[in-house]
């Protein structure tokens, strides 16, 4: 190497170092402001996620990993007879919530948007359940679903001449009832989001369609639905992802029973960790849930792109 | 309250047709039923908690209570020390509010105005945190709380974990950032020339200018902390530390049903009052986010 080139390289290095020092002289105080927030994110979000995935490959004692055992935790969890049922249950949760929790806010929002009378009253009452804390709502419906003659719903059934029900104790009904409870509590917020997007539709579209002789049904299909379609597709994936992780309501209302009929994957994972004290199994189930959810999301976005192209 | 609406499927002309009018009123009746299903069950629970014991356990239960005993609620309040749980929840809320506003606000300021080279990467990381479903973090997070890394502190039965988690709130950071983006840079330049430090700019310029956002976030945080169940339940095992939600869940096994109804009333009434007072702010939040997403 010639002397000249060497000098140039060295001066480049010095310039770089100088820039680096100048950058920190100027910016160290900015970075200092973000340090606490990043630390909180690290210890309460990123590190647990990472640590959880790593620990799922270890035999655990308490919350510490003691021995690398590869996929043994996964094999144990999947061979457990409860696993298959839990997986099916979780998909039943998702299906019911798509049939009920996903459709109700769309219908109600469109209906409220049409109202010339009492519009704000409906808006208020639909959002009202959102103000009831989730745990309190679950407990409240548990009381209302009380089997036997003391239950309010059984009393109402009696008024209409219908037989008393077992409600949550009935294994065929329990998931549906839990979904109804979740929907009751949450659909108001989603309805408000749809309403905001419905009100953003330009009224001239409707007027033009009317002049062209389009009826109500035609306007609904050709204007309303396409206009709120982006919102619908966003809500769809949020709903699936949310219900897939359903946890609080079955814990409070049924504890997964009767005989695991309402056990969801997250609840099972919680029981593994804090009831049977098998942290490794809990984490393996958590990772399985995570992977299924990620696959669902990726497939969904692929499909959505395809629809958009067509 | 009969008015012509802004935008809807049923136009003014169609509304005059009798057939359409019939459909309209059928939908109206349907919405009345929906509204009743939404509001009546909590009201029934609240009213039922005032029934006397005989009426409460009557079979079949009464829809409209015949007895009204306010002293029963008062006795339950005293006997089970609900004042303590309310104070605890208030204390938890206050700390969460400080952590949430201070650290998420600072982060919003950092990503919106300071933006040193390399900050984009951190922002991306924080955005990813929203997208990833957290199905794995429960156990390691709990073990972090029992034995905090590096410092080896046991944080159970303290409010610190919930306070720290209040600072881990990507959505609030996004709200702060997008609001700070609307504040002109010239204000900050001027303050810098006057010799104000970065923290000084944040506290003297950014925060006072973003009062509307702070009010909305404050209300949402108060509401969220009141309803928060899982982590308080995991962390606060000592009865003297319980929040209201933890208390009503833990007392479930031991209390007779009529007392549980009173406890439920204690849990439902405060957020409903908060909603009635601040309705405008809460609803506004939804129309903002609806407009952004849609």
Which chain A residues contact residue B104 at CB under 8 A?
A: 37
Model pLDDT for residues A224-237, shown as the tens digit of each residue: 898 888 889 888 98
Q: In this complex, which of B27, B129, B252 lies closest to A111 when CB atoms are compared?
A: B27
Q: Is residue A203 part of a domain?
A: yes
Same domain as B42, residue B94: no
Instruction: Determine the pLDDT at residue B2.
Output: 40
Three-state DSSP string of A128-159 = HHHHCCHHHHHHHHHHHCCCCCCCHHHHHHHH
Query: Could you give the CA distance from residue A181 to residue B90 in angstroms, rounded to a whole number?
Result: 28
Q: Give yes or no for A194 touching B (CB within 8 A).
A: yes
Same domain as A152, residue A31: no
Chain-wide mean pLDDT for chain A?
87
Q: Is residue A65 part of a domain?
A: no
The answer to whether the CB atoms of B248 and A136 lie below 8 A apart is yes
Ramachandran category for residue A259: left, alpha or beta (phi over 0 → left; psi -120 to 50 → alpha) = left
Q: Is residue B2 part of a domain?
A: no
Same domain as A40, residue A81: no
Instruction: Determine the pLDDT at residue B282.
Output: 74
Instruction: Determine the pLDDT at residue B291.
Output: 45
What's the average model confidence in pLDDT over A20-27? 81
Q: Hey, which residues 45-104 in chain B have their CB within 8 Å of chain A? A: 45, 57, 59-61, 63, 103-104
Same domain as A299, residue A165: yes
Same domain as A260, residue A208: yes
The answer to whether the CB atoms of B2 and A30 lie below 8 A apart is no
Would the pLDDT of A247 be above 70? yes
Instruction: Determine the pLDDT at residue B232.
Output: 93
Split at pLDDT 50, 70, 90, the class of B187 is confident
Q: Give yes or no for B252 touching A (CB within 8 A).
A: yes
Q: Is residue A66 part of a domain?
A: no
Chain-wide mean pLDDT for chain B?
85
Same domain as A89, residue A201: yes
Residue of A nearest to B34 (CA): A126
Split at pLDDT 50, 70, 90, the class of A154 is confident
Q: Give yes or no for A132 touching B (CB within 8 A).
A: yes
Instruction: Determine the pLDDT at residue B4.
Output: 45
Residue of A nearest to B126 (CA): A41
Query: Could you give the CA distance from residue A11 to residue A226 in angstroms, rounded to a whole number?
Result: 62
Q: Is residue A69 part of a domain?
A: no
In chain B, the percentage of residues whose pLDDT exceeds 90 is 28
Would the pLDDT of B5 be above 60? no
Is residue A127 a contact partner of residue A188, using CB atoms and an 8 Å limit?
yes
Q: Give yes or no for A195 touching B (CB within 8 A).
A: yes
Report, in this order, helix, strand and coil percent for chain A, each rounded to 5: 75, 5, 20
Q: Is residue B225 part of a domain?
A: yes
Q: Give yes or no for B154 touching A (CB within 8 A).
A: no
The string of DSSP letters for A4-53 reads HHHHHHHHHHHHHHHHHHHHHHHHHHHHHHHHHHHHHHIIIIIHHHHHHH
Same domain as B102, residue B240: yes
What's the average model confidence in pLDDT over A106-128? 89
Same domain as A257, residue A117: yes
Domain count within chain B: 2
Q: In this complex, which of B35, B116, B134 lies closest to A31 when CB atoms are compared?
A: B116
Same domain as B263, residue B156: yes
Instruction: Determine the pLDDT at residue B51.
Output: 83
Same domain as A241, residue A128: yes
Angle of the A279-309 helix axis to the A265-274 helix axis, nearest 10: 160
Q: Which domain holds residue B55?
A: 12-71
Same domain as B153, residue B22: no
CB under 8 A, 24+ apart: contacts of A209-216: A210/B11, A210/B13, A210/B14, A216/B9, A216/B10, A216/B14, A216/B20, A216/B23
Instruction: Determine the pLDDT at residue B113.
Output: 86
Is residue A153 a contact partner of residue A165, using CB atoms and an 8 Å limit?
yes
With 0.90 as the threshold, say if the pTM is over it: no
Q: Give yes or no for A282 touching B (CB within 8 A).
A: yes
Split at pLDDT 50, 70, 90, the class of B286 is low
Same domain as A105, residue A28: no
Q: Is residue B7 part of a domain?
A: no
The answer to whether the CB atoms of B261 and A143 lie below 8 A apart is yes
Q: Which domain holds residue A7?
A: 3-55
Residues whose CB is less than 8 angstroms from the CB of residue B54 and which lie 6 or more positions away in sequence, other chains included: none
Same domain as A217, residue A111: yes
Q: Hey, which residues 168-227 in chain B have their CB within 8 Å of chain A? A: 168, 173, 197-199, 202, 223, 226-227
Same domain as A300, residue A234: yes
Q: Is residue B254 part of a domain?
A: yes
The answer to whether the CB atoms of B106 and A33 lie below 8 A apart is yes
Lowest mean pLDDT among A42-46, B61-65, B189-193: B61-65
Q: Hey, which residues 218-237 in chain B have their CB within 8 Å of chain A? A: 223, 226-227, 229-230, 234
Query: Could you give the CA distance from residue A196 to residue A66 in angstroms, rounded to a whole number?
Result: 53
Same domain as B84, residue B67: no
In chain A, the percentage of residues whose pLDDT exceeds 70 is 99
Q: In this complex, which of B61, B161, B264 lies closest to A150 when CB atoms are compared?
A: B61
Residue with the larger pLDDT of the pair B22 and A24: B22
Q: In Å, how far is A267's CA from the nearest CA of chain B?
A: 11
Same domain as B169, residue B227: yes
Q: Is residue A62 part of a domain?
A: no
Q: Give yes or no for A49 touching B (CB within 8 A).
A: yes
Separation of CA B224 from chain center? 2
Would the pLDDT of B223 be above 50? yes
Would the pLDDT of A145 be above 90? no
Model pLDDT for residues B55-110, shown as the tens digit of each residue: 777 777 777 777 788 888 888 888 888 899 999 999 999 999 999 999 999 999 99
Same domain as B189, residue B66: no
Q: Is residue A67 part of a domain?
A: no
Same domain as B230, residue B138: yes
Q: Is residue B181 part of a domain?
A: yes
The answer to whether the CB atoms of B165 and A43 lie below 8 A apart is no
Query: Could you give the CA distance from residue B61 to residue A289 in angstroms, rounded to a whole number?
Result: 42
Q: Is residue A301 part of a domain?
A: yes
The answer to whether the CB atoms of B290 and A252 lie below 8 A apart is no
Same domain as B31, residue B107: no
Residues whose CB is less than 8 angstroms from the CB of residue B37 and which lie 6 or more positions away in sequence, other chains included: A184
Is residue A56 a contact partner of residue A280, using CB atoms and an 8 Å limit?
yes
Would the pLDDT of B212 be above 50? yes
Would the pLDDT of B1 be above 60? no
DSSP helix/strand/coil, A161: coil
> Residue A246 gets which letter from DSSP?
-
Q: Give yes or no for B278 touching A (CB within 8 A).
A: no
Q: Is residue B1 part of a domain?
A: no
Q: Is residue B287 part of a domain?
A: yes
Instruction: Determine the pLDDT at residue B231.
Output: 92
Nearest to A248 by CA among A273, A266, A269: A266
CATH code at A139? 1.10.3720.10
Same domain as A292, residue A170: yes
Instruction: Determine the pLDDT at residue A289.
Output: 92
Which chain B residues contact residue A110 at CB under 8 A?
A: 9
Tokens 């809500």 -> residue: A235
Residue of B nearest to A289 (CA): B135
Model pLDDT for residues B130-147, shown as the tens digit of each residue: 877 778 888 899 988 888
Split at pLDDT 50, 70, 90, the class of A17 is confident
Instruction: Determine the pLDDT at residue A93.
Output: 93
**Number of H-type helices and E-type strands within chain A:** 15, 2
The answer to whether the CB atoms of B245 and A27 lie below 8 A apart is no
Query: Could you give the CA distance from residue B158 to residue B156 in angstroms, rounded to a whole number?
Result: 5
Q: Hey, which residues 75-114 in chain A have their CB within 8 Å of chain B? A: 108, 110-114
Instruction: Determine the pLDDT at residue B194.
Output: 86
Same domain as B146, residue B57: no
Q: Is residue B143 part of a domain?
A: yes
Same domain as B100, residue B67: no
Split at pLDDT 50, 70, 90, the class of B6 is low
Instruction: Determine the pLDDT at residue A95.
Output: 94
Split at pLDDT 50, 70, 90, the class of B7 is low
Q: Is residue A61 part of a domain?
A: no
Which chain B residues contact residue A51 at CB under 8 A?
A: 140
Same domain as A149, residue A195: yes
Model pLDDT for residues A262-304, shown as the tens digit of each residue: 899 999 999 998 888 888 899 999 999 999 999 998 998 898 8
Same domain as B67, residue B33: yes
Domain count within chain A: 2
């Amino acid at each position: 190497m010639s002397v000249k080139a060497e000098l140039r390289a060295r001066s480049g290095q010095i310039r770089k170092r100088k820039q680096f020092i100048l950058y920190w002289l100027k910016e160290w105080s900015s970075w200092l402001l973000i340090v606490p927030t990043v630390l909180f994110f690290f210890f309460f979000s990123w590190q647990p996620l990472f640590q959880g995935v790593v620990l799922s490959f270890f035999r655990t004692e308490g919350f510490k990993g003691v021995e690398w055992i590869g996929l043994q935790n996964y094999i144990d969890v999947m061979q457990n007879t409860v696993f298959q049922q839990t997986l099916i249950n979780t998909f039943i949760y998702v299906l019911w919530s798509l049939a009920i929790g996903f459709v109700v806010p769309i219908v109600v929002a469109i209906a409220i948007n049409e109202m010339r009378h009492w519009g704000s009253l409906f808006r208020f009452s639909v959002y009202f359940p959102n103000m009831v804390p989730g745990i309190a709502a679950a407990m409240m419906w548990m009381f209302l679903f009380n089997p036997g003659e003391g239950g309010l719903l059984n009393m109402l059934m009696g008024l209409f001449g219908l037989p008393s029900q077992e409600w949550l104790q009935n294994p065929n009904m329990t998931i549906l009832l839990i979904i109804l409870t979740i929907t009751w509590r949450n659909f108001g917020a989603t309805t408000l989001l749809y309403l905001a997007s419905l009100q953003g539709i330009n009224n001239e579209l409707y007027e033009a369609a009317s002049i062209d002789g389009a009826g109500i049904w035609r306007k609904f299909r050709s204007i309303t639905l396409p206009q709120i379609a982006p919102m619908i597709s966003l809500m769809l994936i949020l709903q699936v992802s949310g219900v897939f992780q359903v946890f609080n309501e079955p814990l409070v209302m049924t504890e997964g029973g009767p005989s695991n009929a309402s056990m969801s994957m997250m609840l099972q994972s919680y029981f593994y960790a804090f009831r049977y004290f098998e942290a490794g199994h809990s984490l393996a189930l958590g990772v399985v849930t995570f992977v299924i959810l990620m696959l669902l999301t990726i497939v969904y976005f692929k499909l959505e792109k395809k629809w958009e192209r067509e | 309250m009969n008015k012509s609406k802004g935008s809807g499927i049923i136009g003014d002309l169609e509304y005059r047709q009798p057939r359409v009018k019939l459909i309209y009123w059928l939908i109206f009746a349907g919405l009345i039923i929906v509204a009743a299903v939404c509001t009546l069950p909590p009201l029934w629970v609240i009213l039922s908690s005032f029934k006397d014991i005989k009426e409460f356990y009557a079979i079949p239960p009464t829809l409209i209570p015949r007895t009204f005993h306010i002293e029963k609620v008062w006795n339950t309040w005293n006997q089970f020390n609900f004042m303590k749980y309310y104070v605890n929840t208030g204390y938890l809320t206050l700390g969460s509010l400080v952590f949430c506003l201070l650290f998420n606000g600072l982060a919003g300021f950092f990503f919106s105005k300071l933006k040193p080279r390399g900050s984009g990467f951190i922002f991306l990381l924080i955005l990813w945190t929203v997208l990833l479903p957290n199905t794995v973090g429960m156990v390691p997070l709990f073990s972090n709380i029992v034995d905090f890394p590096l410092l080896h502190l046991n944080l159970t039965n303290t409010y610190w974990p919930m306070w720290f988690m209040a600072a881990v709130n990507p959505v609030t950071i996004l709200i702060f950032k997008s609001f700070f983006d609307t504040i002109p840079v010239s204000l900050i330049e001027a303050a810098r020339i006057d010799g104000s430090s970065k923290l000084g700019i944040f506290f003297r310029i950014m925060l006072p200018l973003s009062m509307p956002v702070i009010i909305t976030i404050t209300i949402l945080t108060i509401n969220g902390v009141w309803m928060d169940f899982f982590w308080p339940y995991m962390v606060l095992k000592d009865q003297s530390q319980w929040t209201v939600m933890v208390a009503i869940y833990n007392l479930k096994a031991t209390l007779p049903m009529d007392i549980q109804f009173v406890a439920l009333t204690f849990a439902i009434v405060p957020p409903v009052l908060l909603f009635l007072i601040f309705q405008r702010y809460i609803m506004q939040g939804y129309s903002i986010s609806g407009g952004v997403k849609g």
